[in-house]
Chain A
Amino acid sequence: MSERFTKGMARNIYYGGGAFFMLLFIGLTVDTVTALPKRENRDKLTAEVAQGKALWEKNNCIGCHTLLGEGAYFAPELGNVYTRRGMGDEQAFKAFFNAWMKAMPSGAEGRRQMPQFNLSEQELDHLADFLIWTSRINTNNWPPNVEG
């Protein structure tokens, strides 16, 4: 490296650049946090949806599935499972979801197995509410198709 470029200059780029971009990041974060309530329909984020999210976490669903593309890649994406399986009908989706959860594990030999989580009727309802709410978040049009 050229001798005219000193260690002091490198240090200033580090501290100056780091601080500048961190501040810019915080500024953009403020803007994002302000924009989120509309993009995710926070007015529809009911106590039931919140309860559903808590159940999602308590049973470590992310350990196999993705949600909005994040998580493990062992089982299907669930951010749009309402679109895929419910086809716009909340009651139909809930009936499907309830039956699905109760039928697990399938026990089919050699196939990937989903554990039985023994959730109550009310818990299953809340979990479904959470997945329905999630499917309506404005995700810049992701995923590309219904298969997730």
Chain B
Amino acid sequence: MKYASQNIAKPYFVFALLLFVGQIVFGLVLGTQYVVGDFLFPEIPFNVARMVHTNLLIVWLLFGFMGATYYLIPEECQCELYSPRLARILFWLFAAAGTLTIIGYLAVPYARLADLTGNELLPTMGREFLEQPTITKLGIVVVVLGFIFNVGMTVLRGRKTVVNMVLLTGLVGLAVFFLFAFYNPSSLTLDKYFWWWVVHLWVEGVWELILGAILAFIMIRTTGVDREVVEKWLYLIIAMALISGILGTGHHFFFIGAPEYWLWIGSIFSAVEPLPFFMMMVFAFSMLKRRRREHPNKAAMTWAVGTTIMAFLGAGVWGFLHTLAPVNYYTHGTQLTAAHGHLAFFGAYVMIVLSIISYSMPILAGRQANSTAAQKLEIGSCWVMCIAMLTITVLLTVAGAMQVSLQRLPESGDALSFMATQDKIAMVYWARLVAGAAFGVGVMMYLASFVVASLTHRQAPQLTVAI
């Protein structure tokens, strides 16, 4: 580690991983409820468990992005962080707000939580992924603005690189589009239309800038390829992400009441959305081929290259599978959406955060990389998680296909009802639960690799001058 203030990344990463474990636990609860309907009812109904599962994901990824930023910004700017103290205060504020919100979800019925937090003053609750009480949302705004101020001041003071400028643009976009979470009109269609300005323009827009910047940073550091080359790639990838992704939002406007022209615009532009992910994969492999050094952290390289492959499969291939309007007409709101959602979030965002954690945590502990034993276990955990998530995805795709053929394709009268269809899918859901448990094993192996790394730290390559 070159700059003392990079250390502030550590608590962010640790807390992110803690929430990750929580997310997986609740994922397993949900998987069980799919096959044993009354599991944990009425203590933890499905809607509560799902809200905890998805909200934990969003919050831990935000912690991960923040940790990644605090780690790479000083190195890119070649100066210390503007205010490590502010970063520490914001960490505790965000951690407290997040924890209290999750406790609130689990402790009282949701309607009571809405009353307790004064939702009627500015109703923003009860919409998918934006279930947080309004006061929590305000807290997120405060934390993110303070964070961007801190990062922005550092960039102003230090060296401006393409990596830190793109990262900063992505973070500002994240903050700006989140503001649409406070717009909740009584018109359902308007509400849904602008809800996507948060959700789609985050994950298929500005988050891709953050992903690209972190990936570019890891590639520069581990392969030693000339910065100019990496930066050219980064610009091209995010250019394609925005060119396809912004109007690609239209693939969510097909059937919510928006005009018909979105069927065309959404289909055409979202069909191009796999391209930036494909380019990311080509980029990673071409940098590997042109590498000018052998970085000892093989685990980080595995995660980084794996990110581009799994993101291409999840966001690219599985997105394209159901993005054309005539296909989506039958698949909209089936398990196919869940299949795509799982692999895309895991491949693109979970894996990039685990990549930067894998790269930076040994350095923050004074090692260039972890011992061979620890890296072996970590690489093993990467494979287990990837294969388990692919299995989940394939199984949910089968479930979605069954829904389409039993419930959607037949005429009214011949079509099975929703619940009758679910009964037919039960075996697939059981298999999905097993795959989910395997993913849990992967997470355990991953955590164990930290223990092994610390036990075997004497055998690890120590940090000298280079990083």
Q: Are B235 and A10 in contact (CB under 8 A)?
A: yes
Considering the complex, give the chain A residue whose CB is closest to the CB of B129: A62
- Type the 1/0 row for A116-148, where 1 means its CB is closer than 8 Å to any CB of B: 010000000000000000100111111111111
| Contact residues on B (Cβ < 8 Å of other chain), bracket | 35 or more
Q: Are B418 and A10 in contact (CB under 8 A)?
A: no
The reply to whether the CB of A14 lies closer than 8 angstroms to some CB of chain B is yes
Given A113-B45, A145-B410; A70-B228 close (CB under 8 Å): no
The reply to whether the CB of B123 lies closer than 8 angstroms to some CB of chain A is yes
Q: How far is the CA of A22 from the CA of B119 in the complex (A)?
A: 32
Q: How far is the CA of A79 from the CA of B119 in the complex (A)?
A: 24
Tell which of B41, B243, B263, B332 touches A17, judged by Cβ atoms closer than 8 Å.
B243
Q: Are B235 and A115 in contact (CB under 8 A)?
A: no
The reply to whether the CB of A95 lies closer than 8 angstroms to some CB of chain B is no
The reply to whether the CB of B207 lies closer than 8 angstroms to some CB of chain A is no
Tell which of B37, B131, B231 touches A110, judged by Cβ atoms closer than 8 Å.
B37
| Contact residues on A (Cβ < 8 Å of other chain), bracket | 35 or more
The reply to whether the CB of B464 lies closer than 8 angstroms to some CB of chain A is no
Tell which of A25, A31, A40 touches B188, judged by Cβ atoms closer than 8 Å.
A40
Residues of B within 8 A of A60 (CB): 47-48, 51, 110-111, 125-126, 131
Q: How far is the CA of A141 from the CA of B235 in the complex (A)?
A: 40
Q: How far is the CA of A109 from the CA of B37 in the complex (A)?
A: 8
Q: Are B46 and A64 in contact (CB under 8 A)?
A: yes
Closest beta carbon of chain B to A131's beta carbon, Å: 10
- Type the 1/0 row for B122-162, where 1 means its CB is closer than 8 Å to any CB of A: 01011110010000000000000000000000000000001
Given A21-B243, A40-B188, A62-B127; A76-B255 close (CB under 8 Å): no
Residues of A within 8 A of B38 (CB): 108-113
Q: Contacting chain A: which of B88-96, B311-319, B333-341, B383-391?
A: B333-341
Q: Are B257 and A7 in contact (CB under 8 A)?
A: no
- Type the 1/0 row for B212-254, where 1 means its CB is closer than 8 Å to any CB of A: 0000000000000000110111011011001100110100111
The reply to whether the CB of A72 lies closer than 8 angstroms to some CB of chain B is yes
For window 362-420 of B, CB contacts with A under 8 Å fall at 407-412, 415-419
Tell which of A29, A68, A108, A146 touches B256, judged by Cβ atoms closer than 8 Å.
A68
Q: Are B235 and A11 in contact (CB under 8 A)?
A: yes
- Type the 1/0 row for A39-74, where 1 means its CB is closer than 8 Å to any CB of B: 110100100011001101111111110111111111
Tell which of B111, B187, B255 touches A59, judged by Cβ atoms closer than 8 Å.
B111
Q: How far is the CA of A45 from the CA of B185 in the complex (A)?
A: 11
- Type the 1/0 row for B12-44, where 1 means its CB is closer than 8 Å to any CB of A: 000000000000000000000110111001100
Residues of B within 8 A of A35 (CB): 258-259
Q: How far is the CA of A63 from the CA of B232 in the complex (A)?
A: 42
Given A77-B333, A147-B415; A59-B46 close (CB under 8 Å): no
Closest beta carbon of chain B to A115's beta carbon, Å: 5
Tell which of A7, A21, A32, A76 touches B231, judged by Cβ atoms closer than 8 Å.
A7
Closest beta carbon of chain B to A139's beta carbon, Å: 5
Q: Which of B114, B189, B190, B242 has the most CB of A within 10 A?
A: B189
Residues of B within 8 A of A11 (CB): 162, 235
Q: Are B235 and A144 in contact (CB under 8 A)?
A: no
The reply to whether the CB of B2 lies closer than 8 angstroms to some CB of chain A is no
Q: How far is the CA of A81 from the CA of B42 in the complex (A)?
A: 25
Q: How far is the CA of A73 from the CA of B465 in the complex (A)?
A: 53
Residues of A within 8 A of B285 (CB): none
Given A70-B256, A76-B419; A39-B189 close (CB under 8 Å): yes
Residues of A within 8 A of B294 (CB): none
Residues of B within 8 A of A61 (CB): 47, 126
The reply to whether the CB of A13 lies closer than 8 angstroms to some CB of chain B is yes
Q: Are A144 and B333 in contact (CB under 8 A)?
A: no
Given A72-B47, A145-B410; A17-B239 close (CB under 8 Å): yes
Query: Besides A39-B189, A69-B332, A73-B333, 16 other CB < 8 A contacts?
Result: A13-B236, A17-B239, A32-B258, A57-B127, A58-B111, A58-B123, A59-B110, A60-B126, A70-B128, A70-B256, A74-B50, A76-B418, A77-B418, A110-B37, A139-B257, A147-B408
User: 12 A–B contact pairs at CB < 8 A?
Assistant: A14-B242, A33-B190, A39-B259, A54-B120, A60-B131, A62-B47, A70-B333, A105-B41, A139-B256, A139-B257, A140-B260, A147-B417
Interface residues of A (CB under 8 A from B): 1, 5-7, 10-11, 13-14, 17-18, 21-22, 24-25, 28-29, 31-33, 35-36, 39-40, 42, 45, 49-50, 53-54, 56-64, 66-77, 105, 108-113, 115, 117, 134, 137-148
The 7 closest A-B pairs by CB, nearest first: A63-B47, A57-B126, A69-B333, A112-B37, A142-B255, A10-B235, A50-B186
